[in-house]
Amino acid sequence: MQFTASQIALIINGKIEGNPDASIGSFGKIEEAQPGQLSFLANPKYEDYLYHTGASIIIVNESQTLQKPLSSTLIRVPDAYSAFAILLSKYQEMRTQQMHGIQEPSYISKTAVLGTNVFIGAFSYIGENAVIGNNVKIFPGVYVGNNVRIHDNTMLHPGVKIYHDCVLGKNVTVHAGTVIGSDGFGFAPQADGTFKKVPQIGNVIVEDQVEIGANATIDRATMGSTVIKSGAKLDNLIQIAHNVEVGNNTAIAAQAGVSGSTKIGHNVMIGGQAGIVGHIQIADGSRINAQSGVSKSIKTPNTSVTGSPAFDYASALRSQAVTRNLPELEKRIIELENMVKQLLAEKAGI
């Protein structure tokens, strides 16, 4: 499938510099792209490749200045990275639109309701009273439990497991191996040292425009719902415990874990391998650095924290600077102690 610079510029509302009839059929990184491919430049670190790449068309920022003449056709946009993301989304959308129908073998309950233009891959299971919306794409090996609701344009990649009663909104993407709705970690300690399981009878609600990475786990609520709100983005290998709420447009990086009943606000950013204890609140706009351990609520919006236990980011940086200077500080203290001893000795001699 070929596209011209004029067609691409129309999609991303860009301005063409060069040949409007230049065409591409695939994408490539700017340092590796070949003729017939489209690339982009957003990071100044890669600017040198702009003058050597083989890409036929390059998307650049409006502010990009040229130091040398180019053979490639440029499309200038306000934000090259976002424009390139739009094109990749359109490309993926065209590919998935070709997927429709039901592959065999697969199991679909007679009580399940399927929308239009649905794709269900081989070895998938659709449980009783499940409702699958329009244009939903279910890849091979997916399990959809009883009473699950999956709304329009959602995509479940291979091996995804959606337990009973869970709800997925519109335009949700769930990557391979992720489990949504497994039991929350609820056990009541007994007098004899054993644990009694607390049944987890709630569900998980994933709202619209959410993306969840591969091999993540989102536990169902003990009662009520674990909620991932609209626009949230979860990376691979994330654990979200029972009754957690993740706010709108919050991003959580890989290997982070959130303990039960914690409420995370909107537009929060959580770095990789961060750990958050249960039953606390994280204010809107908070920034939690990678590998931080958050043990108490963050009540002030737009606060940045780091460390374990996590505390104010600026204070942490000052503490790190002091720590690096400890050997020199120790040397100076020893010198001062020696000077004091010498002065006392001289005074005693007088």
Catalytic residues: 242
Q: What angle do CA 235, 220, 113 make, to 5 degrees?
A: 90
